[in-house]
Structure formats: structure tokens, C-alpha cells
């Protein structure tokens, strides 16, 4: 990953820097700057860099294995996914194929040299005087052997080769952009699955705390019953609440196991729940996010690889129109041959003889197709239609990117505000329960008041977990939506208080 981050491109606009640095994997990404295990993994800084890397490097073949005991950090999981996930491998091969098409188009600028060897025999009628030939002719068999080279070179074609080369280059960049987005897609799925697992673990911890609180309430009710200040129904109600918490705990354990399975699925390895992740020790600094969504939209339109792919496809379509129009113009070709030719007539060798000589030919061939039944006209119309289609697809994609950015920004802003409210709610609910428990023990409040405070505390704990999860995922979603996922070095995040490990 250190090799990847050394190639990143940082926006120069100060507000763009602020927004990008906060949003791009700001949700607690713990980079240890480990070397990437796959070639080209995460190379999403420039189209030219991604295109060059995918064309030169070999595709990964090995499939990683997961140690179920070792805790994996998020950057390690991203590396594993980009190496193993079939989506990234498919995109890699598509990029390599596009690079080969560029080589094919570039080869048209070079001459074609063909080695040839010809073995043949001709039987011809040769006129001959009747005194020497009864019928006035003779049949002559002429075996021949010719070996040499043929050279053909297109001297001028009114820009046809240039347009074909530019079109293939544009398509190469388009597939490189698709490769970039495929890496971002896989990384985004891994990050979301990772934080879903972290959330499931935090929810499991919260429900264990809820169970402990319910057991504390039950103990208080039993103590009051022993002192004659509570009734048996009060104790039964407290036991029912504890039993419900135990039921929720078992359900949460199953959800946590399913989150492990989904994480392995995102990595592109066989389904199982045998995986351990390292808990993040930081969270995004929400207060540092700029309130300008316009800057984010501009960054998305500039940096989204899939939008760049559509733009390159439009450029290729423009070049294809030039190729179609060039078919109306002539081409000038240089053609030459050089060979050694041997002939030995089998009939009347005294008169005809045999020989081996060096022969050659050279000439300029001007070809101009004057009539083709409308094929070229229809080709131009077809390419023009595809160009208009590509332009509309680009416009539609640009609107979609802007809409997704607005949605992700609103979701992130909402999640940040909900997290502040959830923290206040948890603090208030904790204070309320502690006070209600003390009041119940002293006989000031009844069990109904204590159970109500307990229920509010349980809801506040779950709301706090859900709000923190929403902030993490929405921050990553905003970075993914703006096309900056995997592009930037993560910013220092504020530390969070480590949660105690449940028994």
C-alpha cells in the first residue's frame, strides 16, 4: 500500500484538499503502509499510470488464504480483495486487451514485409513451325521455384491510421478508468463489509451491556422483594426483561457471524465465518468537513473514473467518425517484391533453356473507391449515431454523479448530526438509569420507573452504535461517490475510547 500511496495525486484547490482529506477513507482507516501484495493494486491516481501498469504488469494468479486467528487491518483486507476478487481480475484483463488493440492500431504505421516461397508448374501451348512440329505448336511444361520478399507500405491515407490509433488510445483509457472504478468498487464493498462487522461487534458489546443492566435490575427487584418492598410480579417482570436481553444477545451473535461471512465474500474468497479483524482505533473528524457541496460535486465530476470512462468513449466515437469519413478518400501504397526465380522447361529444353535469375518489382498503387453502393455513407451515419449516443450517455452519467454526490453528502451530514444526538441521548439515558436505580433501591421510585429508564438506556446504546456506524459508512460512501476512494493518504483521525472486551 505504501507503493500505491506514493503515486497519489492531491487536488490543488485548498477547499478540495480539506474535503478530500477528510472524506477519503476518513472513517477510521488504519494504514500501516504495508507493501501491496498485487501488482497495480489501487493504482487509481492517473489514467495514464493505470493504463501503463495494466499493460506491462502480469495479472495475479495466486489466491490468498485467510488465517482465521490473525486479526486483519482494513488496508490488508483491501489488498487481498483487489488481488482475489474476480471483478478486479476481469477489469485487469479488459485493460490489457485494450492495450493490445493500441499496438494493433500502431502497427499500421509500419511496412509489412512478407517472406514467400513459390513452387509451381505451368503447362502452356507454345506456337512452333509446322516443319518442326506436326500440329504447329508444342505443349511446354515449365516448373518454377521463386523465393524472396514482398514489401507493402501505406504512404498516405488522409489521417485514417491516425484516427484509428487515437480511437484505440481513447478506448484504452476508458478501460483503464473502468479498472480504476472496479478497484474502487471492490474496496468500497470491503470497507462497508468491514465496518458492518465492526458495527455488529459493537452491537454485540452493547447488547451484553444491556443484558448486564437487565440482570442488575433483576437483582435490585429480588433484593427489594426480600426486604418486603416489592412484589413477585415486579421480580417476574425484571426476569422477563433479562430473558428478552438474552434472546437479543443470541440474535446479535448470529448477525455478527453473518457479517464475517459477508466480509469474506467481499474479499472474493470462499464463504466462511473464519476471519478476525482488528478494531479501528480512530473515527472521522466530522467537524473538519466543509459545508460546500459544490466543491464535492466538482471533485466528483473531475475524479470519478467511470465518468472519465464515458468521456474517453466519446473521444473514441469522435475519432471513429474521422475513420469513416476517410474511407471517401484515396490511399497511396508502396508495393515491391524481390525474389530469386528458377525455371527449367521440361519440353524442348534445347530451344527454351533453363535459368535462375534475381527479379524485382516496385511501384506506387493509388486506390480510390468510387462507388460502393452506399456502404461508406451508412458507415458515417452509423458512427455519427454512436457519437451522439456516447455524448448523451456522458451527460446522463454526469447528472447521475452529481445526484449521487448530493445524496451522499446529505446522508453524511445527517449521520454526523445524528451521532451528536445519539451521544447526548446515551449520556442522558445513563444518568437517568443510574438515578432511577438508586431511587428504586431507596424506595423512592417503583419498578416501572426503573424498567422504563432501563429500556431508554438500551435504546440509547443501540442508537449510539448505529449512529457511529452510519458516520463511518457514509464518510466512505462520500469518498467513493466523489471518486477519491484509494486516491488519498488518510488524514489523522481523532482517537476514540477503546471499548472494554466483554467477558
Give CA–CA dist 168/189, Å, rounded.
31
Determine contact, residues 319/162, Cβ cutoff 8 Å: no
Number of H helices, E strands in the chain: 12, 8
CB 136 within 8 A of CB 130: yes
Q: Residue 310 has what pLDDT?
A: 95
The residue among 247, 270, 237, 234 whose CA lies nearest residue 68 is: 270
Domains annotated on the chain, with CATH: 2-106+161-321+374-495 (1.20.1600.10)
Listed in order, strand segments (DSSP E) in 137-234 are: 137-156
pLDDT at residue 26, rounded to an integer: 39
**pLDDT value for 10:** 30
3-39 residue pLDDT tens: 332 332 333 333 333 333 333 333 333 333 333 344 4
> Strand 137-156 relative to strand 112-127: parallel, antiparallel, unpaired?
antiparallel
The parts of the chain modelled with pLDDT lower than 70 are 1-45, 57-63, 281-291, 346-353, 487-503
Burial class, 213, CB count within 10 angstroms (exposed 0-12 / middle 13-18 / buried 19+): buried
398/482 Cα distance (integer angstroms): 12
- Phi and psi torsions of 455, nearest 5°: -65, -40
Residue 389: per-residue pLDDT: 96
SS (H, E, C) 239-272: HHHHHHHHHHHHHHHHHHHHHHHHHHHHHCCCCC
∠ Cα 325 328 333 (to 5°): 110
- Residues 62, 68, 72, 77, CA torsion sign: positive
pTM above threshold 0.85: no
Distances in whole angstroms, Cα of residue 313 to Cα of each of 209, 395, 398: 55, 12, 14
How many CB atoms are located within 10 Å of the residue 301 CB? 18
Handedness of CA 153, 159, 165, 171 (dihedral sign): negative
**pLDDT of the residue at 502:** 39
Q: Is residue 46 helix, strand or coil?
A: coil
- What DSSP character marks residue 58? P
Measured between alpha carbons, how far is 443 from 465 in angstroms, rounded to an integer?
Answer: 33
pLDDT, residue 487, reads: 62
What's the pLDDT at 285?
A: 59
pLDDT digits (tens, 9 = 90+) for 141-162: 888 888 999 999 999 999 999 9
**Predicted pLDDT of residue 87:** 85
Percent of the chain with pLDDT over 70: 83
Chain-centroid distance of CA 343 in Å reads 64
Q: What is the CA radius of gyration of the chain?
A: 38
Amino acid at each position: 500500500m505504501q507503493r500505491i500511496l506514493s503515486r497519489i495525486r492531491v487536488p490543488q484547490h485548498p477547499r478540495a484538499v480539506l474535503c478530500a482529506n477528510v472524506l477519503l477513507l476518513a472513517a477510521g482507516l488504519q494504514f500501516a503502509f504495508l507493501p501491496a501484495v498485487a501488482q497495480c493494486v489501487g493504482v487509481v491516481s492517473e489514467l495514464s499510470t493505470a493504463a501503463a501498469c495494466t499493460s506491462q504488469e502480469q495479472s495475479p494468479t495466486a489466491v490468498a488464504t485467510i488465517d482465521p486467528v490473525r486479526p486483519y487491518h482494513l488496508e490488508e483486507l483491501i489488498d487481498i480483495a483487489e488481488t482475489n476478487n474476480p471483478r478486479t481480475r476481469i477489469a485487469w484483463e479488459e485493460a490489457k486487451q485494450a492495450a493490445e488493440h493500441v499496438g494493433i492500431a500502431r502497427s499500421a504505421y509500419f511496412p509489412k514485409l512478407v517472406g514467400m516461397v513459390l513452387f509451381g508448374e505451368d503447362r502452356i501451348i507454345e506456337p512452333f513451325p509446322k516443319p518442326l512440329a506436326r500440329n504447329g505448336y508444342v505443349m511446354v511444361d515449365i516448373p518454377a521455384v521463386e523465393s524472396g520478399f514482398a514489401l507493402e507500405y501505406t504512404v498516405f491515407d488522409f489521417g485514417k491510421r491516425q484516427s484509428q490509433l487515437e480511437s484505440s488510445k481513447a478506448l484504452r483509457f476508458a478501460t483503464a478508468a473502468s479498472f480504476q472504478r472496479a478497484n474502487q468498487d471492490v474496496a468500497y464493498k470491503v470497507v462497508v463489509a468491514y465496518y458492518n462487522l465492526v458495527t455488529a461487534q459493537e452491537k454485540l458489546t452493547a447488547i451484553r451491556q444491556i443484558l448486564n443492566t437487565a440482570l442488575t435490575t433483576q437483582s435490585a427487584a429480588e433484593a427489594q422483594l426480600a426486604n418486603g418492598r416489592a412484589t413477585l410480579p415486579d421480580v417476574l417482570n425484571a426476569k422477563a426483561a433479562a430473558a428478552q436481553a438474552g434472546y437479543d444477545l443470541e440474535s446479535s451473535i448470529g448477525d455478527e457471524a453473518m457479517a464475517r461471512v459477508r466480509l469474506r465474500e467481499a474479499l472474493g474468497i470462499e464463504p466462511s465465518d473464519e476471519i478476525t479483524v482488528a478494531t479501528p482505533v480512530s473515527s472521522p473528524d466530522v467537524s473538519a468537513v466543509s459545508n460546500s457541496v459544490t466543491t464535492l460535486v466538482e471533485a466528483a465530476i473531475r475524479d470519478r473514473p467511470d465518468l472519465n470512462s464515458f468521456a474517453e468513449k466519446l473521444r473514441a466515437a469522435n475519432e471513429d467518425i474521422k475513420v469513416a469519413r476517410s474511407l471517401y478518400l484515396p490511399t497511396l501504397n508502396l508495393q515491391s517484391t524481390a525474389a530469386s526465380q528458377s525455371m527449367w522447361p521440361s519440353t524442348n529444353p534445347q530451344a527454351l533453356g533453363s535459368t535462375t535469375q534475381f527479379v524485382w518489382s516496385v511501384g506506387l498503387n493509388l486506390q480510390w473507391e468510387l462507388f460502393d453502393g452506399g456502404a461508406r455513407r451508412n458507415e458515417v451515419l452509423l458512427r455519427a449515431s454512436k457519437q451522439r449516443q456516447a455524448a448523451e450517455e456522458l451527460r446522463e452519467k454526469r447528472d447521475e454523479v452529481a445526484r449521487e454526490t448530493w445524496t451522499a453528502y446529505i446522508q453524511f451530514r445527517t449521520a454526523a448530526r445524528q451521532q451528536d444526538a445519539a451521544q447526548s441521548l446515551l449520556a442522558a439515558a445513563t444518568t437517568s438509569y443510574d438515578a432511577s436505580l438508586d431511587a428504586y433501591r431507596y424506595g423512592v421510585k417503583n419498578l416501572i420507573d426503573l424498567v422504563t429508564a432501563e429500556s431508554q438506556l438500551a435504546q440509547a446504546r443501540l442508537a449510539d452504535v448505529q449512529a457511529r456506524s452510519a458516520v463511518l459508512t457514509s464518510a466512505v460512501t462520500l469518498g467513493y461517490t466523489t471518486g477519491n476512494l484509494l486516491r488519498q493518504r488518510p488524514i489523522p483521525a481523532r482517537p476514540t475510547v477503546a471499548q472494554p472486551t466483554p467477558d
